[in-house]
Amino acid sequence: MYAKRISSLPPYLFAEIDERKKRAKKRGGDIIDLGVGDPDLPTPQHIVEAVCHAAKDPSNHRYPSYEGMFAFREAVAAWYKQRKQVSLDAEDEVLTLIGSKEGIAHSAFAFLDHGDLALVPDPAYPVYKNAAVLANGIPHSVPLTEENEFKPDLESIDREVARKAKIMFLNYPNNPTAAAVDKSFFKEVVDFAHDHDVIVLHDNPYSELTFDGYEAPSFLAVDGAKDVGIEFNSLSKTYNMTGWRVGFAIGNSEILKGLRLMKTNVDSGTFQAVQIAGITALTGSQECVKRNVETYKERRDILVAGLSSVGIEVKKPKATFYLWTKVPQDFSSSLQFSMFLLERAGVVVTPGIGFGEEGKEFVRFSLCVSAERINEVCERINLITDLHQYNNK
């Protein structure tokens, strides 16, 4: 019944943990879900008010333009100039998306022909690999190892593979590893892309969720980047707007044109009222972003302290709302450790294997519940004392 591309998608690895989560909830268990990467805080009020107002205007009820409202694209350009020191031509270097996930998935269709290689980090947000598979391309895993601070070792990519590669996905600050990079890494990426004629697709939805003075650079802030790639960003994580579906792609105008062509045949753009609210988000006071960062920082510090106190080693991440921690020694896999935390502590975490083979010794904790609940997580994990034994044996 299904097309081969559907059956060729990798199995849904979170299915089992979802099933157990449901069962635990049914039994009346008080489950704390640190599995999802979806802000628990509401969208700031001034943005909600902007959409309510815009939704009442009939001129917003018709089809939006494919590339997005010019005013929205101008707001993106101004925001990038201010936040990331990147100059963009709002006319042809900015494209509105229905959330960045949409643009990421459609990019695979815009740039991969049957059998073309896509370089995909492992572990990674699953959409990169799955979109390549759906587009009949061939995903080629590039490992992100702890030894290399979860950055790809570009030197070690096989010459032949590099030659064949058409696109490369990257994502810093990174989901799931919470790794952050500086501009010098992006410079290496630009050189690699030049040398091997690879299109770089950099995904940057956590660009504003940074701590302790770290600022996440845009890929496009590096000389030559605009010749080789584009960057995706989104209002989802910065402004707690995951449900609204609005993001954008910026950078190389020829690459964006390909993505736009793909999109014109599949969707009809983002609801204008949502784009207008997006303008309010990007051009209004950024105090709400600061408050978000403070909130995640407080949660991060509580969880890092709690995990450390039971011997689970974890470094404080400089960005994102995730902690990526090694599974304690006596657990055989990330899945087993996740099940243990769910069954014994009622805490849901995401097994690293769900993000790729290289994630198999890690789990991801997200920080999308209140500080109070995170304290509760720490207490519960502290109570399951065999964890100590597992560790100190």
Ligand X SMILES: *Cc1c(COP(=O)(O)O)cnc(C)c1O
Q: How far is the CB of 237 from ligand X (least distance, A)?
A: 6
Choose the stretch contacting ligand X; rule: CB under 6 A; options: 107-115, 213-221, 230-238, 339-347. Answer: 230-238
Q: Which is nearer to ligand X, 306 or 356 (CB)?
A: 356
The rounded distance, in Å, linking the Cα atoms of 24 and 15 is 14
**Of 127, 131, 104, 132, whose CA–CA distance to 117 is shortest?**
132
**Residue 242 touches ligand X, criterion: CB under 6 A:** yes
Contact 252, 200 (CB under 8 A): no
Three-state DSSP state, 232? strand
C-alpha 356, offset from chain centre: 15
Candidates 205, 229, 278, 359; binder of ligand X (CB under 6 A) is: 205
Q: Which is nearer to ligand X, 139 or 346 (CB)?
A: 139
Q: How far is the CB of 287 from ligand X (least distance, A)?
A: 22
**Residue 218 touches ligand X, criterion: CB under 6 A:** no
Choose the stretch contacting ligand X; rule: CB under 6 A; options: 94-102, 153-161, 277-285, 347-355. Answer: 94-102
Candidates 35, 39, 64, 99; binder of ligand X (CB under 6 A) is: 99
Choose the stretch contacting ligand X; rule: CB under 6 A; options: 27-35, 98-106, 140-148, 382-390. Answer: 98-106
**Residue 125 touches ligand X, criterion: CB under 6 A:** yes
The rounded distance, in Å, linking the Cα atoms of 250 and 81 is 12
Angle between helices 371-383 and 334-345 (to 10 degrees): 100
The rounded distance, in Å, linking the Cα atoms of 347 and 376 is 10
Q: How far is the CB of 99 from ligand X (least distance, A)?
A: 3
In degrees, to the nearest 5, what angle opens at C-alpha 51 toward C-alphas 45 and 56?
135
CA distances from 116 to 132, 164, 275 (A): 9, 7, 34
Candidates 67, 203, 231, 376; binder of ligand X (CB under 6 A) is: 203
29: number of Cβ within 10 Å: 13
Q: x/- site string to ligand X, residues 154 to 193, per CB under 6 A?
A: -----------------x---x------------------
What residues make contact with ligand X under the rule CB under 6 A?
A: 37, 99-101, 125, 171, 175, 203, 205, 234, 236-237, 242, 247
